[in-house]
Amino acid sequence: MSFEKLGLIKPLLSAISDLGYENPTLIQKRAIPLVMAKSDIFATAQTGTGKTAAFGLPILQRFRNTQATENRPLKAVILSPTRELSIQIYEDLTNYAKNLKVACAVLVGGKDIESQQRTLKKGIDIVIATPGRFLEHIERNLDISQVEILVLDEADRMLDMGFTKDIRKIHPLLPKKHQTLLFSATYSDKVRKLSKLVLRSPAFIETSKKNSTVDTINQVAYLVDTDKKAALLAYLIGSRNYPQVLVFTRTKVSANELFVELQKDGLKCGLIHGDIPQAKRLKTLALFKEMKIKVLVATDIASRGLDIEELPYVINYELPSVAEDYVHRVGRTGRAGRDGEAISLIDIYEKYDIREIERVIGQKIPQDTVEGFEPDPNIRRKDVDEKKLKSEHKKPEKKRERKYNKNTSGLAKAKLSTKKRKTTKRDAK
Ligand code: AMP
């Protein structure tokens, strides 16, 4: 099926043809007619499947004839979890709309709210926003009484990031009769719950197996000791001559540390995480896209919304703490049917995490070692030793605790409970 057959108008067809889109992707084939028919949608779509155009094109088409008056009311709202993703969607929509008079704006935190208000006053049809900033605009009297479409993009991530409250606040403020399109890469209970609240008789679109990764990505996990990970990473990048690689860490602290290490190895790299100011993040991303820096070290917050053309390699320096995030991370590569490679460097502590990931994606990730970086068989998990130690002393420890609890104040109990927490598996890392 062609884009013409989907009923898209010429100005849009010519814009997407300029972008090199020849045929609609599966999610586009299925969603575009439903969006045009004003149906609510619940779509589970993998990252990189073309979902922005799946909702963006029919929305632009619907509002193409809106009178370009000042202060005109808003028609469509697209909520996304991160600033980067919002800006990416805005850029995509602006490209699609280049032959139309539809006006889009992006409303994200970290930018001057008054200047955003001035933009809105000029007359905007579609906004792309993060939930928190959109609420702030509503509190400042943004007129949402004429909104016809709400899109919740990457809904699973919005919920994971704690936006549930904001979405629950925004939803009842919209006109009773509006169309809602919910897109989510994963299919969690939280998402299902939200869908019950915001969708009316939705059409379900499932373009892939639940939580499965993109087929064109080659996945491999290299076993390595924790303290050799940075050296292995530098070795892989250098010896295999990777032209551009996105590297994920689990925390901001390890992202900072790795960034310093890689620079010591003489690699040109950039750093993106939640503590880095937005302007700097965007600048780094632009340099990475232009291939002026070779390695981009990022935390999961940055994994959404990064759309880099033909990114061939993603390396998980540390596995994500939430297994579903693996799907999002590796979704940065192999976009729109291209080949990609996702490498995970796993130490002895991550052997269990990878099993959980394999369960979620429903496939095995082959494990291997790199010559010169094989794990030392004498290194044992610290927490395994601690567990053993604990079980040896289990009875007396329990008795002591019970006796102590009876006579302690609340404060002492709180202290005791932090003490107990220190022995958990995760903290032992
Ligand atoms: P998305 O899933 O919306 O982030 O899109 C992933 C990438 O695929 C982006 O670089 C899009 O520009 C590109 N893309 C979307 N639709 C098509 C299409 N029909 N043909 C080729 N590329 C596409």
- CATH number, domain containing residue 160: 3.40.50.300
Q: Which residue has the higher pLDDT, 274 or 293?
A: 293
- Tell me how far the alpha carbon of residue 10 lies from the centroid of ligand 1, in angstroms: 19
pLDDT of residue 29: 92
Do residues 317 and 291 lie in contact, with contact meaning Cβ atoms separated by under 8 Å?
Answer: no
| Torsion sign (Cα): 281, 284, 286, 291 | negative
Same domain, 228 and 186: no
Domain-located, residue 351:
yes
Same domain, 195 and 226: no
* pLDDT tens digits, 143-182: 999 999 999 999 988 998 889 999 999 999 999 999 999 9
Residue 243: pLDDT band with limits 50, 70, 90: confident
- Tell me how far the alpha carbon of residue 53 lies from the centroid of ligand 1, in angstroms: 7
Whether the predicted pLDDT of 418 surpasses 60: no
Taking Cα atoms as reference points, which of 120, 156, 158 lies closest to residue 141? 120
Same domain, 178 and 306: no
Taking Cα atoms as reference points, which of 204, 69, 82, 86 lies closest to residue 146? 69
Do residues 361 and 245 lie in contact, with contact meaning Cβ atoms separated by under 8 Å?
Answer: no
Query: Of the residues 25, 32, 96, 338, which should be mutated to test ligand 1's pocket, given the most ligand atoms within 8 Å of the CB?
Result: 25
Whether the predicted pLDDT of 283 surpasses 50: yes
Residue 307: pLDDT band with limits 50, 70, 90: low
Do residues 73 and 242 lie in contact, with contact meaning Cβ atoms separated by under 8 Å?
Answer: no
| Torsion sign (Cα): 288, 289, 290, 291 | positive
Same domain, 224 and 128: no
Which ligand 1 atom sits nearest the alpha carbon of residue 25? 19
Backbone torsions φ then ψ of 338, nearest 5 degrees: -85, 160
Choosing from 206, 228, 245, the residue where a domain stops is 206
* pLDDT tens digits, 64-96: 988 878 878 999 999 999 898 899 999 999 999
Q: Domain of residue 192: give its range.
A: 4-206
Whether the predicted pLDDT of 340 surpasses 90: no
pLDDT of residue 42: 94
Domain-located, residue 285:
yes
- Tell me how far the alpha carbon of residue 336 lies from the centroid of ligand 1, in angstroms: 5
Residue 337: pLDDT band with limits 50, 70, 90: low
Same domain, 82 and 180: yes
Lowest mean pLDDT segment, chosen from 19-28, 85-94, 258-267, 395-404:
395-404
pLDDT of residue 288: 87
Whether the predicted pLDDT of 420 surpasses 70: no
Whether the predicted pLDDT of 130 surpasses 90: yes
Which ligand 1 atom sits nearest the alpha carbon of residue 48? 2
Two tokens, residue 410: 């609340």
Residue 132: pLDDT band with limits 50, 70, 90: very high
Three-state secondary-structure class, residue 207: coil
* Average pLDDT for the chain: 83
Three-state secondary-structure class, residue 208: coil
Whether the predicted pLDDT of 46 surpasses 80: no
Choosing from 329, 349, 368, the residue where a domain stops is 368
Domain-located, residue 225:
yes
- Tell me how far the alpha carbon of residue 328 lies from the centroid of ligand 1, in angstroms: 15
Same domain, 43 and 146: yes
Give the chain's domain count: 2
Same domain, 169 and 103: yes
Which ligand 1 atom sits nearest the alpha carbon of residue 52? 3
Same domain, 103 and 144: yes
Q: Which residue has the higher pLDDT, 314 or 352?
A: 314
Domain-located, residue 297:
yes
pLDDT of residue 303: 59
Domain-located, residue 110:
yes
- Tell me how far the alpha carbon of residue 358 lies from the centroid of ligand 1, in angstroms: 26
Residues with CB under 6 A from ligand 1: 21, 24-25, 28, 48-53, 307, 335-336
- What's the average model confidence in pLDDT over 99-106? 96
Domain-located, residue 425:
no
Neighbour order of strands in the sheet with 41-44? 104-107, 126-129, 76-79, 149-152, 179-184, 41-44, 203-206
Which ligand 1 atom sits nearest the alpha carbon of residue 51? 3
- Tell me how far the alpha carbon of residue 48 lies from the centroid of ligand 1, in angstroms: 6
- Tell me how far the alpha carbon of residue 154 lies from the centroid of ligand 1, in angstroms: 15
Instruction: Name, in order, each residue with C-beta under 8 angstroms of 321's C-beta and a sequence gap of 6 or more.
Output: 250
Classify residue 205 as left (phi > 0), alpha (psi -120 to 50) or beta.
beta
Domain-located, residue 158:
yes
- What's the average model confidence in pLDDT over 49-63? 95
Lowest mean pLDDT segment, chosen from 31-45, 296-310, 336-350, 352-366:
296-310
Specify the residue with its C-alpha closest to ligand 1, atom 6: 48
- Tell me how far the alpha carbon of residue 403 lies from the centroid of ligand 1, in angstroms: 63
Backbone torsions φ then ψ of 118, nearest 5 degrees: -65, -40
Three-state secondary-structure class, residue 129: strand
What's the angle, vertex CA 262, arms to CA 285 and CA 428, rounded to 5?
100
Choosing from 152, 178, 206, the residue where a domain stops is 206
Same domain, 222 and 194: no
Residue 12 CB neighbour total at 10 angstroms: 23
Residue 382: pLDDT band with limits 50, 70, 90: low
Instruction: Name, in order, each residue with C-beta under 8 angstroms of 286's C-beta and a sequence gap of 6 or more.
Output: none
Residues 158 and 79: their CA atoms lie apart, in Å, by 9
pLDDT of residue 308: 59
pLDDT of residue 214: 56
- What's the average model confidence in pLDDT over 4-33? 93
Lowest mean pLDDT segment, chosen from 15-24, 68-77, 306-315, 336-345:
306-315
Same domain, 262 and 133: no
Same domain, 197 and 281: no
Taking Cα atoms as reference points, which of 145, 112, 151, 146 lies closest to residue 128? 151
pLDDT of residue 171: 93
Specify the residue with its C-alpha closest to ligand 1, atom 15: 50
Same domain, 199 and 270: no
- What's the average model confidence in pLDDT over 100-129? 94
Residues 245 and 423: their CA atoms lie apart, in Å, by 36
Lowest mean pLDDT segment, chosen from 276-280, 310-314, 324-328, 380-384:
380-384
Do residues 340 and 314 lie in contact, with contact meaning Cβ atoms separated by under 8 Å?
Answer: yes
Residues 186 and 189: their CA atoms lie apart, in Å, by 10
Domain-located, residue 251:
yes
* pLDDT tens digits, 192-226: 899 999 999 999 997 754 445 556 678 899 999 99
Three-state secondary-structure class, residue 185: coil
Whether the predicted pLDDT of 426 surpasses 60: no
Going through 194-316 in order, the beta strands assigned E by DSSP cover: 203-206, 217-223, 245-248, 269-272, 295-298, 313-316
